[in-house]
Structure 1
């Protein structure tokens, strides 16, 4: 898919990209885009960062023994959320590839949707960097912290 700058990169465009660009197995994760933050809201702090919030619907298919959502699904959620956040900060599609992702798991999550709050730390011409906080939707407590780097193609 060629690079596309949109005058308005919104939830509809982000959802279209989610459905058209990512592999079918990523789509099988049941992801939805809950929010995009492209511009600072009124009264935003000086350290505000653009980002996106994605939701991964709970499914037994994403669980390992004991009903715990598996780490592989959580890492794929974080990676996908960061791509959408970078596209939002870029205000349109731009090809990229993950070059590093470090995940720190904080606690198990079971029988709950998972939210990914992805923030762009630096949007660059050749590299972009971000952080993602994964939260259990049932209690809004962090379950993992992720830092990542992407090569911008």
Structure 2
């Protein structure tokens, strides 16, 4: 699955996603970055993006993480979602950086760090690298996969432990 295919599937499945104006900036196995543009619709007093929009951004990003690993499973759903708002974001776009912590047969646990767009901190010298922005929110969430979801899709370096999942005595996979 590609970032464009993910964006199309998410927008088709939940039309609200298209109204947010998010763009996929990175779509790799187990890692997805999504940008939420700063728009008047999403602002709270003080000119920053509101908390519910950040929650939607994180959920969309984790859905992308899940699909990057198991393919186009429309019925993967949020089972648990915990967000910590760490600081008020300054006005501007936000970037959600999502990654998988654990991929199981029926559940996927992931995390998202939401940071302000680095370009807002760009130094006067164009050759200098802007500092890594501090997160404004951190999310840990779990997605439930439907029974019809594709089987475990581990990166090539992941292997089963001896005696687990190979002899019928244990169905657990190594993590």
TM interval, short-chain normalised: 0.7 to 0.9
CA contact (8 A) 2:13 2:74 kept: no
Where relative contact order (Cα < 8 A, 6+ residues apart) is larger, the structure is: 1
Gaps of 5+ in 2: 122-132, 147-175
Which of 91, 102, 105 aligns to 1:122? It is 102
Unpaired segments ≥5 residues, structure 1 = 1-8, 39-49
Residue-by-residue CA offset, 1:8-41 (whole Å, 9 max, x unaligned): x11221122122112x222211111111112xxx
Of 9, 19, 28, 1:28 maps to 19
Q: Which residue of 1 aligns with 2:58?
A: 78
Q: Comparing 108-117 with 92-101, which one deviates more in the overlay?
A: 92-101
Tell me the distance in 2 between the aligned counterparts of 1:78 and 1:111. Answer: 18
Shift of the alpha carbon at 1:111? 2.0
Aligned counterparts, 1:2-151, within 5 A: 9-22=1-14, 24-38=15-29, 50-137=30-117, 138-139=120-121, 140-151=133-144
Structure 2 distance, partners of 1:129, 1:146, is 11
CA–CA distance in 1 between the matches of 2:10 and 2:77?
A: 15
More strand by share: 1
* Matched residues, number: 133
C-alpha distance in structure 2 between counterparts of 1:98 and 1:14, whole Å: 16
TM-score by length of 2: 0.71
Write the distance in 2 (CA, Å) between the matches of 1:97 and 1:91.
Answer: 14
Relative to the length of structure 1, the TM-score reads: 0.81
